[in-house]
Structure 1
Amino acid sequence: MDVLARHNVTVHGPSDGRPLLFAHGFGCDQNMWRYVTPAFTDEYRVVLFDHVGAGPVDPAAYDVERHATLQGYAQDVVEICDALDLHDVVLVGHSVSAMIGVLAQAARPDRIGALVLVGPSPRYIDDDDYVGGFSEADIFELLGSLESNYLGWSSAIAPVIMGNDDRPELGQELTASFCRTDPDIAKRFARVTFLSDNRADLADVSVPTLVLQCRDDVIAPIEVGRYVHETIPGSVLTVLDATGHCPNLSAPEETAAAIADFLRSVPARS
């Protein structure tokens, strides 16, 4: 299958604009960026896609061996960039796609010129002095619950991930998004996501990077955002006055403004 069709790639904005590639998080699809991208389509070439198993993407595109690691998902990103012949891409990755972006940049620095990491976490499990936010037992309990009853897990966990209890419609939207994701693929992707450890990859990031951190995030606490910022050379940390793990839905104007500020400070490659 053609790579652009395989990932339901959509392109908006001027063809000669600097590419902004938006990558969604676990259980989501490109629709989760709909409140953020309009701020950029006048000036930038905005590219959206769905990971395998998300949105309308054919589950047959999922490769058990390839997608057993985040490196396989990073290769998908690289193939999208190659197919569109994108250069100097600003890759905006939410949640697990932040680390996918880190890996894609390392693989193809000729394609990716800057990173925006929204709610990133290189490791979810606490380890010695590293604070990931979860114990190993927490993660295996989460994965066990997900694997035994995915729809029930989705209904219970999505509002917690979203936060913003005073706006229940946000949690309901995330629940619906989880439930649209192919459950078998979601179970495998969850294990890849929550058991990954990409801390060693951060020091190799060689492009301007913005770390966007919510002030209160149960999935990627502020200690994680600070760790990512301190480990990526020359990165910028912006703490949003937003709660929950999905500021692209809960605080899209603040999220877009922070990205725009960063872009103004990062000139395009000549």
Structure 2
Amino acid sequence: MSFLRNPDNRRVMAAKAWVAEALCSPAMGRAVTRATGGVVRVKGLRIDTRSAALDPGVPAALLFRIYEGAELRLLEAHVEPSACVVELGTSLGVVGSAAARALEPGARYVGVEANPALVGLALRNVRANAPQVAADVLHGAIDYSRAAGDTTAFRSEGSHLASALGEGPGFVAPVVRLGDLLREQGVGDYTLLMDIEGAEAGLLERDSAALEWCRQMIVEFHDTTFAGRAWSRAELAARVDDLGFRRVAEYGSVVVYAR
């Protein structure tokens, strides 16, 4: 029944979405928190979810391998050793923990997270799961529509996973550019993890030189608009192809690239 594993099968994906919503309800999340003490095991990781900033359904999504499931599946099969992992859009550090765990002692992990309430949680999770790595998580947002040194405002839409650019109740983050980050942190060869809700279009258009030393990339593409132009996920993926990367594997909107 291989069609059940096809992420492009609309009926299957609709059914999965319905099941996921039921499994990841706030009530189920609170039950998982009571059972686990808030530290959920997933694919050999121990992920601390004890934060009021998280949607209450997140612990359940982790337990049932729905949260970042595609990224974790692809990482497990394809992550390669590198001197440094750079993650844009760290969230609570699940994907970063999985990638950092595969690094050699003395390697580095640098994450960037826009939501200030999640920066400390992400850092604790990465350090707990990859103690052999020098880890840091910076507060910032990848944004090429504003000048470096500016801030970007996010409005909350009911969940830490559902925030969007725009004024309103939420949080602000300093603008970060990948190229600037690499220079400031002294990063050479690196693996890039990227889930930044469409901001990848600006990076690919304005900062593609920062990918020169990127040896592996695991990215979730999003349909988006940048500088007045609409970008589809397929167009973004084709742009990465044009930059000299080859596709190693993909699942849904998540793609693994290598040089």
TM range (shorter): 0.3 to 0.5
TM-score normalized by the length of structure 2: 0.36
Greater RCO (CA < 8 Å, at least 6 residues apart): 1
TM-score normalized by the length of structure 1: 0.35
Higher helix share: 1
Higher strand share: 2
